[in-house]
């Protein structure tokens, strides 16, 4: 039955009174409560970001005037100074490989300074700073290391890119002393220009690329650097520091397939060792088709240079994906079969790295199951180091 209007008015009035009574009987804050709130506000941390360092007077040093390591092929003509492949590769390698070769993965510049602050001024090739499984620092940043008093490489700081043109302090407040530094260039972006800035009164000595034969890696997105948090954490860089020698990174994301056209470029490098790590981008049939021709291509040009074949890592979640796990097993069998055939044919100087332990056994070594995180890259370096060290013995 509908309410009569007089009854409805009485009900509304009663509710209003009750609400008012509730509001009036709520306990007001005491003086001590107010004092405590004010004190808490006074000690609360600021929510605004710290101010960026103001640029001091600096002397700038263009790294192209003394050179970077990881830039193979000597004085062959290039379309851009920081390209990984020479101009002649354009049209010979696949368009995808050529495009990926514009990234500066594996390049590193060395210098000495006693500066208390180090700045960088660089321009990137691409506006996009990172992909889904990379940090902007890893894909487009700089990563600075220095030798400590014992001569060991230690991490120092990074450039944090937020746009295509980056001009910022890498590190300040450095303790006094002249020391050697190494700055790793972006993994998944190209560089148009790069200069290092230090105060005008600071000593600065450019260090040209070392002349030792480099460790040469040819591989996939993992070799390219996915998903290291910063450029110095990919296994190629880690191993370069451990062996204290130059490294060439020819990783091509999604396109490391033992291509003969890439082989034609590899043979132009006077390497200490060739490390072929392409299986993550290949199936068993392609592994059987291309492994032996690529090794023979390298061996014909470099009769005595060690060659190391690497199985692909297993995805870190294959414990619950049997079909994917079987694919890894088939890939490994195909590479092992090719390796044994090469040895039976009398090819010398071959080594082999199994893939099962590259990322560890606990499932924690990858960002997305496939691409190593920093932990995974350290583990991968740990597995590879003794095999590479044995191959380099006496070289």
> Does 18 map to a domain?
no
Same domain, 202 and 313: no
Lowest-confidence segment of 20-34, 157-171, 281-295, 372-386 by average pLDDT: 20-34
Judge if 205 and 232 occupy the same domain. no
Q: What's residue 49's pLDDT?
A: 60
Taking residues 241-245, what's their average pLDDT? Answer: 98
pLDDT > 90 in the chain, percent: 86
Judge if 236 and 322 occupy the same domain.
Answer: yes
Work out the average pLDDT over 13-26.
Answer: 37
The answer to the question of residue 190 being in a domain is yes
Are the C-beta atoms of 392 and 244 separated by less than 8 Å?
no
Nearest in space to 342 (alpha carbons), one of 298, 376, 374, 311: 298
* pLDDT given for residue 289 in this prediction: 98
pLDDT exceeds 50 at position 285: yes
Picking from 3-17, 255-269, 280-294, 369-383, which range would have the lowest pLDDT averaged per residue?
A: 3-17
pLDDT at 23: 36
- Kindly state whether residues 332 and 357 are assigned to the same domain: yes
| Helix, strand, coil shares, percent, the chain, to 5 | 35, 20, 45
Looking at the structure, tell me whether residues 58 and 123 fall in a common domain: yes
Residue where one domain finishes, among candidates 178, 209, 240: 209
pLDDT at 28 over 60: no
> Domains in the chain: how many in total?
2
Domain match, 238 and 378 both: yes
Whether residue 110 sits in one domain with residue 191: yes
Q: What is d(CA 150, CA 154) in angstroms, rounded to the nearest whole number?
A: 10
Q: Looking at the structure, do residues 343 and 234 belong to the same domain, yes or no?
A: yes
Structural domain ending residue among the three candidates 150, 183, 209: 209
What pLDDT, in 10s, does the model give residues 195-231?
Answer: 999 999 999 999 999 999 999 999 999 999 999 999 9
| Number of alpha carbons in the 13 Å side-chain half-sphere of residue 372 | 30
State the Cα–Cα distance between residues 373 and 367, nearest whole angstrom. 5
Task: Kindly state whether residues 185 and 244 are assigned to the same domain.
Answer: no
Q: How far apart are CA 173 and CA 188, in angstroms?
A: 30
CATH assignment at residue 248: 3.40.50.1110
Q: Is residue 340 part of a domain?
A: yes
Q: Is residue 395 part of a domain?
A: yes
Same domain, 179 and 294: no
Query: What domain range includes position 272?
Result: 210-395
Distance from CA of residue 11 to its chain's centroid? 70
For the cut 60, the answer to whether the pLDDT of residue 236 exceeds it is yes
**What is the mean pLDDT of the segment spanning 234-260?**
98
* pLDDT in the model for residue 5: 39
Same domain, 244 and 374: yes
353 or 52, greater pLDDT: 353
- Residue 244's region, left for phi above 0, alpha for psi from -120 to 50, else beta, is left
pLDDT given at position 234: 98
Average pLDDT over the chain reads 91
Percent of the chain with pLDDT over 70: 87
Q: Which of 161, 187, 209 is the last residue of a domain?
A: 209
In a domain, 6, yes or no: no
175 and 222 in a single domain? The answer is no
pLDDT at 394: 80
pLDDT tens readout for residues 40-92? 444 445 556 667 889 999 999 999 999 999 999 998 999 999 999 999 999 99
């Amino acid at each position: 039955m509908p309410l009569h209007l007089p009854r409805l008015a009485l009900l509304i009035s009663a509710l209003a009174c009750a609400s008012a009574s509730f509001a009036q009987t709520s306990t007001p804050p005491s003086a001590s409560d107010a004092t405590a709130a004010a004190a808490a506000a006074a000690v609360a941390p600021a929510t605004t970001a710290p101010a960026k360092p103001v640029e001091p007077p600096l002397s700038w040093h263009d790294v192209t005037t003394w050179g970077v390591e990881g830039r193979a092929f000597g004085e062959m003509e290039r379309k851009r100074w920081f390209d990984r492949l020479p101009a002649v590769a354009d049209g010979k390698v696949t368009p995808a490989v050529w495009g990926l070769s514009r990234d500066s993965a594996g390049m590193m510049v060395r210098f000495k300074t006693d500066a208390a602050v180090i700045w960088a001024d660089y321009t990137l090739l691409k506006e996009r700073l990172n992909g889904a499984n990379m940090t902007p620092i890893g894909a487009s940043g700089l990563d600075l290391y220095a030798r400590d008093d014992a001569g060991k490489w230690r991490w120092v700081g990074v450039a944090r890119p937020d746009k295509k043109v980056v001009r910022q302090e890498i590190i300040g407040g450095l303790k006094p002393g002249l020391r050697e530094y190494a700055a790793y260039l972006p993994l998944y972006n190209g560089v148009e220009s790069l200069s290092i800035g230090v105060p005008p009164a600071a000593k600065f000595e450019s260090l040209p690329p070392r002349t030792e034969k480099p460790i040469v890696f040819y591989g996939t997105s993992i070799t390219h650097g996915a998903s290291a948090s910063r450029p110095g954490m990919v296994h190629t860089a880690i191993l370069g520091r451990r062996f204290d020698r130059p490294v060439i990174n020819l990783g091509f994301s999604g396109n490391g397939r033992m291509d003969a056209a890439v082989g034609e470029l590899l043979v132009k490098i006077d390497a200490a060792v060739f490390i072929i790590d392409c299986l993550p981008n290949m199936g068993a049939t392609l592994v059987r088709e291309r492994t032996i021709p690529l090794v023979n291509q390298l061996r014909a040009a470099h009769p005595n240079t060690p060659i190391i074949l690497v199985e692909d890592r297993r995805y870190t979640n294959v414990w619950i994906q049997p079909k994917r796990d079987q694919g890894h097993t088939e890939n490994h069998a195909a590479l092992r079969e090719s390796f044994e055939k090469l040895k039976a044919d009398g090819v010398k100087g071959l080594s082999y790295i199994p893939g099962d332990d590259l990322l560890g056994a606990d499932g924690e070594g990858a960002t997305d199951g496939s691409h190593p995180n920093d932990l995974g890259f350290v583990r991968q370096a740990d597995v590879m180091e003794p095999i590479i060290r044995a191959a380099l013995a006496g070289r």
